[in-house]
Amino acid sequence: QTINLGGREMIIELVPDGADGVWLEVGYGAVKHLDLASHRVRGYDRTDGLPEQWVAPVQLGEMIRFRSAGGLFRFDPTTDRFERDLALETKLEAVDGLRGLHRTHPDGRGGLWAIRNGGHMHISLDETGKPQFRDLDPAVSRVPGIRAVYAWGDTAVIGAIDQVYIQHPAIRPWKKAPPQTIIRRIEAGADYETVYAGAGAYPDNVILSHADSDLRIRFTVTEYSRNPPASFRYRLSGYQEHWSPWSTDPSKDYTNLREGKYAFSVQGRCARGTEGSIATFGFEILPPWYRTRLAMAGFGLGGVGLILLTVWWRSAWLRRRLHWLQGEVEKKTAALAASTEELQEANEELAQSNQELISLNQRLEEMNRDKNDFIGIATHDLKNPLNGIMGLATIIAEDAETLSREQIADLARDIESSSRLMAEIITNLLDINRIEQGQLVIERKRCDLGELAESVLHDHLLRAQEKGIMVKLEQPRGEVPVLGQRDLLVQILDNLVSNAVKYSPPGRPVTVRLERTGSECRAVVVDRGLGIAKEEQERLFQKFARLSNRPTGGETSTGLGLAIVKRMVEALGGRVGVESAPGEGSSFWVSFPHADVADSGPWTEDDPKPPILPGSMSAGDRLPPSMRN
């Protein structure tokens, strides 16, 4: 008949309750009771008074108690609960020992045969009720694997691995013996094959081959405890003469032991600190075949013969080699000279390649800086006018019905101004990119620098008047002919005049002076602004250069204008420069090749006014008298 316990617990121990039931040990924090009459199974756990620890039923004489790490517990059938039996704990004065109690059985005289961690003993009560203990025979105590005991009269039958021991309680009075240290197993070789398996006497001198020089030795002590565990120390005479520190590891490995005789000793110490006996076994590791005496003698004789043969053969070989080397030295000398020459050439090529690599790296760094500056302009200088356009457009869209035509016209003019600013920034970026990519096509023709200067000044007249700045043009009599490209010349002059107006304080003059020299014509744009420091002049014509000076009328600057001027002037075969000092204003000049006209003398006040060329403007038509000199 099968009785279902209602779970998957493993039954570890069965203890009869003295009536019609059995207590079942099932593990951590719980026990079960089986009523044999009704086949009813009742489980108990911490809700019924049990501790959250391992609980096991134990038969102590005619009493049933439940041991755990927290003490002894008794079952009260009237309340169907468990409670701690403090009285019995005090009486036995062995609570710590009872934690490791595994098996008990009455001896028929009021005592118990007991098996516990680290020892096997007999327990009885004297006339005062105090417990008395008797250890088993030491020959039995040192045998591992004892887990069963049965009382037969005054004799205990003790079961171990493949053996049964019979113990009488009157053999000797109880005397606490030290714990026994036991070598359980000896394994040797790469696969750790068993040499000794813990049965019988220890071998006195185990002979091991050199291939079995790896050892693993497992050991234990008879008084075992989980918490705290037992500890061990060991030594290997012939390899390690002193004792090792105490360790809880119950095994020791040795690898690659050399040939020789050894003696391994181990001593255990139980949880209560008592040191046990010392277990020792000896063994010998044989040398490998090539280190045996016979092999060494053979090696010696063979070595002598080999040396003699080598000396004879080497002498003959050296004579032949000498003749060959003399010829090779001559060949190698010539080859070395040729290799030296090739090495020098290779070094020169390497140096050149290294220099090119440095230049390329510098160029990459410059391009990376330009990229970062470009991103800064795109995200800052373009964002401001674009936000203005969006804001003005939003005002027109949302308030179109309430705005007058004049207000809408003003907003449209503001949108046009922001759009022109964006167009200027984009044009500058495209120009500098076109120049650096080599896409600038130059067609140099004869151009009048005076005509172009008048046109540029006229374009900036309104802006100058708004800031109270007077612009002047000073030029010699007749044309100022240069070889250049008209649109580039206009853009160069426009950038220079725009900067002069932009950075000049209100009320200060801006003068454009044209000059002719023997082989060049020069345009000089002079302002009376704050001037430029010497250290800032060195980076004035670099891309995205932004100086400490700021526009005086709230204008914006991309930092590209002068960089574009420099590249366009150099593309036309001209030169550009600046003369400035802080607080004294600035003079920016550009010079271009003279177009070799006949009249290149200096202009004076007595000279007649220059003729008006087709497509140009006269000083009287396009510039007010205050701008002409």
Q: Which of 52-61, 145-154, 193-202, 406-415 has the lowest mean pLDDT?
A: 145-154
- pLDDT surpasses 50 at 454: yes
The pLDDT score that the predictor gives to residue 628 is: 47
Mean pLDDT of 36-59: 85
Distances (CA, A) of 253 to 133, 234, 264: 38, 11, 11
- pLDDT surpasses 50 at 175: no
pLDDT confidence tier of residue 7, bands split at 50, 70 and 90 = low
pLDDT confidence tier of residue 105, bands split at 50, 70 and 90 = low
- pLDDT surpasses 90 at 69: no
Long-range contacts of 27-34 (CB under 8 A, 24+ apart): 27/54, 28/52, 28/53, 28/54, 28/55, 29/53, 29/54, 29/55, 30/55, 31/55, 31/56, 31/57, 31/66, 32/5, 34/3, 34/5
The two structure tokens encoding residue 420: 């022109």
The pLDDT score that the predictor gives to residue 103 is: 62
Q: Which of 339-348, 371-380, 386-395, 567-576 has the lowest mean pLDDT?
A: 371-380
Query: The dihedral of CA 555, 461, 629, 474: what is its sign?
Result: positive
- pLDDT surpasses 90 at 438: no
Q: Which of 355-369, 484-498, 513-527 has the lowest mean pLDDT?
A: 355-369
The pLDDT score that the predictor gives to residue 615 is: 29
The two structure tokens encoding residue 134: 């008797």
The pLDDT score that the predictor gives to residue 216 is: 92
pTM of the model: 0.36
Q: What is the largest CA-CA distance in the chain?
A: 156
pLDDT confidence tier of residue 533, bands split at 50, 70 and 90 = confident
The two structure tokens encoding residue 280: 């020792």
Query: β-strand 101-106 against 163-167: which pairing, if any?
Result: unpaired
Which stretch, 8-12, 174-178, 409-413, 555-559, has highest mean pLDDT?
Answer: 409-413
Could you say which of 1.10.357.10, 3.40.50.1100, 2.60.40.10, 2.40.40.20 is the CATH number of the domain covering 181-290? 2.60.40.10
Do residues 543 and 366 make contact, with C-beta atoms less than 8 angstroms apart?
no
The two structure tokens encoding residue 173: 């009075």
* Of the candidates 143, 116, 148, 139, the residue with the CA atom closest to the CA atom of residue 220: 143
CB atoms within 10 A of CB 187: 19
Mean pLDDT of 466-475: 88
Mean pLDDT of 60-78: 82
CA distance linking residue 451 with residue 475, whole number of Å? 10
pLDDT confidence tier of residue 140, bands split at 50, 70 and 90 = low
Q: Domain 13-167 belongs to what topology? A: Methylamine Dehydrogenase; Chain H (2.130.10)
CA distance linking residue 347 with residue 409, whole number of Å? 72
The two structure tokens encoding residue 574: 């001209």
- pLDDT surpasses 60 at 97: no
Do residues 224 and 230 make contact, with C-beta atoms less than 8 angstroms apart?
yes
Mean pLDDT of 519-529: 90
* Of the candidates 459, 364, 464, the residue with the CA atom closest to the CA atom of residue 420: 459
**Which residues are within 8 A (CB) of 343 and not within 5 positions of it... i.e. 6 or more apart?**
none
The pLDDT score that the predictor gives to residue 522 is: 92
Could you say which of 3.30.70.1900, 3.40.50.2300, 3.30.565.10, 3.40.50.300 is the CATH number of the domain covering 445-627? 3.30.565.10
φ, ψ dihedrals at 209, nearest 5°: -75, 165
CA distance linking residue 591 with residue 489, whole number of Å? 11
CA distance linking residue 586 with residue 580, whole number of Å? 4
pLDDT confidence tier of residue 119, bands split at 50, 70 and 90 = low
The pLDDT score that the predictor gives to residue 152 is: 55
Mean pLDDT of 604-624: 36
Do residues 564 and 435 make contact, with C-beta atoms less than 8 angstroms apart?
yes
The pLDDT score that the predictor gives to residue 518 is: 80
Do residues 477 and 603 make contact, with C-beta atoms less than 8 angstroms apart?
yes
Q: What is the pLDDT of residues 151-168, one digit of tens each?
A: 555 666 666 554 556 666
CB atoms within 10 A of CB 585: 22
Do residues 283 and 206 make contact, with C-beta atoms less than 8 angstroms apart?
yes
CA distance linking residue 245 with residue 232, whole number of Å? 8
The two structure tokens encoding residue 8: 């998957």
**What rounded mean pLDDT belongs to the chain?**
76
The pLDDT score that the predictor gives to residue 83 is: 92
The pLDDT score that the predictor gives to residue 265 is: 93
pLDDT confidence tier of residue 619, bands split at 50, 70 and 90 = very low
Do residues 32 and 3 make contact, with C-beta atoms less than 8 angstroms apart?
no
pLDDT confidence tier of residue 403, bands split at 50, 70 and 90 = confident
CA distance linking residue 85 with residue 71, whole number of Å? 8
The two structure tokens encoding residue 346: 């290779």
Going from N- to C-terminal start, the domains of the chain cover 13-167, 181-290, 292-380, 383-436, 445-627
The pLDDT score that the predictor gives to residue 376 is: 59
The pLDDT score that the predictor gives to residue 609 is: 36
Q: Which of 168-172, 299-303, 402-406 has the lowest mean pLDDT?
A: 168-172
Q: Which of 8-12, 182-186, 490-494 has the lowest mean pLDDT?
A: 8-12
CA distance linking residue 628 with residue 450, whole number of Å? 12
One-letter amino acid at 535 equals E
Q: Which of 82-91, 192-201, 574-583 has the lowest mean pLDDT?
A: 192-201
- pLDDT surpasses 60 at 224: no
The pLDDT score that the predictor gives to residue 384 is: 60
Q: What is the pLDDT of residues 563-608, one digit of tens each?
A: 888 888 888 889 999 988 888 888 999 999 988 753 434 333 343 3
Query: The dihedral of CA 71, 121, 17, 13: what is its sign?
Result: positive
Q: Please give the distance of CA 258 from its chain centroid, rounded to a whole number.
A: 44
